[in-house]
Amino acid sequence: MIVSNTNKVTPGDDDMEGENDGNVNRDMGTDTKADRDALTNGDRMKDPKVFLNTLWSKIKDNLLFTLTLLAVLFGLILGVIIQQCVTPYSTDLVVVLLKFPGELLLRMLKCVILPLVVASVITGLGAINAKSCGKIGGVAVAYYITTTVMASILGLCLVSIIKPGAGEERAWWGRRE
């Protein structure tokens, strides 16, 4: 590479790499081989255009995750703002109106759970052969019966130890006279 007195790299002399690569024309802003090599090696993140293009491509590759994360952050910020604005003026009507969408969502989710579970079980059973299905079904029934008996015994033991409601004043429908 031939370098003149003004530190300009002469065009067409790229065949002699490694010689005076540090001398780059910073005055004229010309694109030199040293500039291109710096961008292709480890210094590419220093260039804002390259960095933004790389960042945008990563965001596009993970668009669903990015949008979900942004929606969660937006909901969090909106919830904090609404809580700070509404709390001093909260009335029963405001509480009911703000609680309604959450209850609606939870009820819709409860309606969807059973069909999803049944469809998953049917799909799983359809994917295995009959012999394996019988073994798995037997294990599932045994597991269900065992856990039900254990939960019943645990519940009866805890109720006899803790005695919930003992010593409490009875409600109006069971009040002694």
pLDDT tens-place string over residues 108-135: 999 999 999 989 988 887 888 877 778 8
**pLDDT tens-digit series, residues 44-87:** 556 788 888 888 888 889 999 999 999 999 999 998 888 888 77
DSSP result, 66-125:
HHHHHHHHHHHHHHHHHHHHHGGG--HHHHHHHHHHHHHHHHHHHHHHHHHHHHHHHHHH
pLDDT at 168: 67
What per-residue confidence (pLDDT) applies to 72? 96
